[in-house]
Homo-oligomer: A and B are copies of this chain.
Amino acid sequence: MKNILDKNQNKANEVRSIMRDKKVTMINLISSPGAGKTTLLERLCERLAGRFRLGVIEGDVTTDRDAQRLKKFEIPLVVINTGGGCHLDSYSIFRVLEYFDLENLDVLFVENIGNLVCPTAFDLGESFRLAIVSIPEGDDKPAKYPMLFRQARVVVLNKIDLMHHTNFSYESFLTDLRKINPGVPLFRVSCTNGTGLDEFTLWFEKQVHTF
């Protein structure tokens, strides 16, 4: 396992070096299945289109359903099917970079496999990690799956519109998160009704080209 992680880290460093050279900001989106990675990408593509040149790598165990949802944006889009694998690794990213014209790209989103555990162990060479967690999953996720929340440069708390239909305690969530990652920016959003997305997009725009 250590050997696998060491090799992954070396290749991730190579990817990161390419991205810096080409001035591409690469974001690794990690969450549980169904927390809203693809929906957040849809909202970001709508808001950033015309101002930034975007690309997406869609990681999926099987199917290209998420990619189908993004096709309407007519941006460079590559699907990686892991064939049962539980995470993306830096080798899989490296192999698909040739399909992108990196000279003409500002932002490369990587949607990882829906999984709060395994993807956290594999550096992809990203500029930063974006953790998404959603209200119906419960307020205990930072405490129970601390790895992701410790590494995240930003946390998006999605499906805020469902808050009043659940027993989610924002106070409890925040207390646990602050213990694990005291300074991490946190955005409360609803990708279905739009709440909080302007604030998040504003923050996001400031990150582009700063790595």
Once the chains bind, are A62 and B165 in contact (CB under 8 Å)? no
A128 to B114, CA, bound (A): 24
- Bound state CA distance, A191 and B86, in angstroms? 28
What is the oligomeric copy number?
A: 2
Q: How far is the CB of A169 from chain B (nearest CB, A)?
A: 13
> Interface residues of A: mostly helix, strand, loop or mixed?
loop
Residues of A in contact, count (CB < 8 Å): 39
Find out whether the CB atom of A136 lies under 8 angstroms from the CB atom of B34.
yes
B-binding residues in A (CB < 8 A): 32-35, 60-63, 65-66, 84-86, 113-118, 121, 134-138, 140-141, 143-147, 159, 161-162, 165-167, 192
Question: Residues of B contacting A63 with CB < 8 Å?
Answer: 143-144
A33 touches B141 (CB 8 A): yes
Chain B contacts for A147, CB-based, 8 A: 61, 84
Q: What is the minimal beta-carbon distance from A19 to any residue of chain B, in angstroms?
A: 27
Interface pairs (20), CB distance under 8 Å:
A32-B33, A32-B114, A32-B137, A34-B134, A34-B138, A35-B137, A61-B117, A61-B147, A62-B146, A63-B143, A84-B121, A84-B147, A86-B86, A86-B118, A117-B118, A135-B136, A162-B162, A162-B165, A165-B165, A167-B192
Complex: chain B residue closest to A162, CB-CB: B165
